[in-house]
Amino acid sequence: VLNDEKGCSASDLEKLRTRNEKLEAKVVKDKNALSDYQEKYRIYVEQVTELQETKVELEKLQKKMEELKVNSTEEKKKLKDEVDALKSAMAPIADEPEAA
């Protein structure tokens, strides 16, 4: 009698319950999927942040390496000039007799 007053039959109520259960299952599935995507996003953000920090550190190290190369090249040139100067200082003069 109660069902008749609401205008729904028992079979209609059963169909609605079944549909409601399916929708509730879909909601649970979608919540789990959302949670999974949120975790993946969090991990992605951490990786991007770490990658950016690594990139900055790499750029610093590359700059330092270039500075060391420049300093090394300058140092090599200075040493070569010193060696050349010492060689020319030790070379005998054309008029000078060789020491025995």
Of 6-15, 40-49, 71-80, 86-95, the one with minimum mean pLDDT is 86-95
CA pair distance 72, 59, nearest whole angstrom: 20
pLDDT digits (tens, 9 = 90+) for 15-65: 999 999 999 999 999 999 999 999 999 999 999 999 999 999 999 999 999
DSSP 8: -
8: buried, middle or exposed (CB in 10 Å: 19+, 13-18, 0-12)?
Answer: middle
- Measured CA distances, 60 to 30, 42, 63, 74, 88 (Å): 45, 27, 5, 21, 42
Smallest CA-to-CA distance from 71 within 60, 79, 81 is with 79
What's the confidence (pLDDT) of residue 8? Answer: 76
Contacts of 10 (CB under 8 A, 6+ apart): 3
What's the confidence (pLDDT) of residue 90? Answer: 86
- pLDDT confidence tier of residue 96, bands split at 50, 70 and 90: low
- pLDDT confidence tier of residue 91, bands split at 50, 70 and 90: confident
